[in-house]
Amino acid sequence: MHYYNFHIGDYKSHTHHLTIIEDIAFRRLLDHYYLHEAPIKQRIIARQIGMLDYEQDVLSVLNEFFDDTPDGYINPRADGEIAKYRELSDAGKRGAAKRWNSPPIATLWPPHSHPNATPIATNNQEPITNNHIYSDFEKILKAKRKPLTETLLAAIQVEADKAKLTLEDALKECCVRGWTTFKAEWMLTKADVIHQTVPSTFDRDPVLIKMDKDAKTLTSIPDEVKAKFKMLKGGK
């Protein structure tokens, strides 16, 4: 895991008795545990978290907040968070894989040719299919020097579920707004946007200006990104 929930009040209530060094040790131990998702080996952990000069403080915290097992020290609460993360990540990957394996463009239009097809007519009446959306998203990633990975798609799927959107709808928002990722909390209603603006000026709100600029940052899709996308979709 590269991020995890941190409950400040809960943490404080359990660690108020720690010294400053012990508090630092505990935070580093947690970061190490979540990052590696594996039991901690007592013999080398102080060096691994950069606290070899405070080895006794590290071991004291390790014994208080972690359980000693034959495989190493574990933290049951952290294990629960890791299990939830893996479940969501796997669900996102399955959802993305299902969409990558959707029928080719020819079967996605007209609408009655596939029950799940949701094409959108453009000004020239050419339908926008899932493949168009993925291709446009690739352009944004390349323009902003961001890699296309399964982890990114899985994370977007999780946030899309929170916002009650499909993966394609979330990617559409990314394409329109120039985003390289997606967060459910970014889906503001018009009232939300108005509420966040400053009414004391007659200038156009900078939030709206940025949204317009971001929507124009699309560039042509490069061959190397096409190859990565094709690999993720299982192409030969």
Please state, in angstroms and rounded to a whole number, the distance separating the CA atoms of residues 44 and 99. 44
Does residue 115 sit in the same domain as residue 195?
A: yes
* Domain-located, residue 203: yes
The pLDDT, as a whole number, for residue 45 is: 93
Mean pLDDT of the region 55-61: 95
Does residue 37 sit in the same domain as residue 125?
A: no
Does residue 55 sit in the same domain as residue 134?
A: no
The pLDDT, as a whole number, for residue 142 is: 87
* Torsion angle in degrees (nearest 10) through CA of 107, 123, 180, 208: -150
* Domain-located, residue 201: yes
> Angle, to 10 degrees, between the axis of helix 150-162 and the axis of helix 167-177?
100
- Distance between start and end Cα atoms, the chain: 30
176-221 pLDDT, tens per residue?
Answer: 888 899 988 887 654 444 444 444 445 565 656 666 666 565 555 5
The pLDDT, as a whole number, for residue 98 is: 64
* Domain-located, residue 28: yes
- Show the domain range for 22: 8-74
Does residue 148 sit in the same domain as residue 34?
A: no
The pLDDT, as a whole number, for residue 117 is: 43
Joined together, the tokens standing for residue 36 give 């590696």
Q: Centre a 10 Å sphere on the Cβ of residue 172 and count the other Cβ atoms it contains.
A: 19
98-148 pLDDT, tens per residue?
Answer: 666 655 444 333 333 344 444 444 444 444 456 678 888 888 888 888 888
pLDDT of 46 above 80: yes
pLDDT of 23 above 90: yes
Mean pLDDT of the chain, nearest integer: 75
Does residue 221 sit in the same domain as residue 174?
A: yes
Does residue 56 sit in the same domain as residue 125?
A: no
* Domain-located, residue 35: yes
Does residue 126 sit in the same domain as residue 228?
A: yes
* Domain-located, residue 81: no
* Domain-located, residue 96: no
Each residue of 59-73: b (16+ CB within 10 Å) or e?
A: ebbbeebbeeeeeeb
Does residue 117 sit in the same domain as residue 45?
A: no
* Domain-located, residue 180: yes
Contact 149, 159 (CB under 8 A): no
The pLDDT, as a whole number, for residue 109 is: 34
Strand partners, 68: 73
Least confident of 85-89, 120-124, 154-158, 211-215: 120-124
Name 165's Cβ contacts closer than 8 Å, sequence gap at least 6.
Answer: 173, 187
Does residue 70 sit in the same domain as residue 113?
A: no
Quick one: DSSP state of residue 40?
A: B
* pLDDT confidence tier of residue 67, bands split at 50, 70 and 90: very high
Q: If you average pLDDT over each of 64-78, 79-93, 101-115, which comes out highest?
A: 64-78
Strand partners, 112: none
* Domain-located, residue 142: yes
Whole-model pTM over 0.85: no
Query: Which phi and psi (to 5°) does residue 2 adopt?
Result: -105, 0
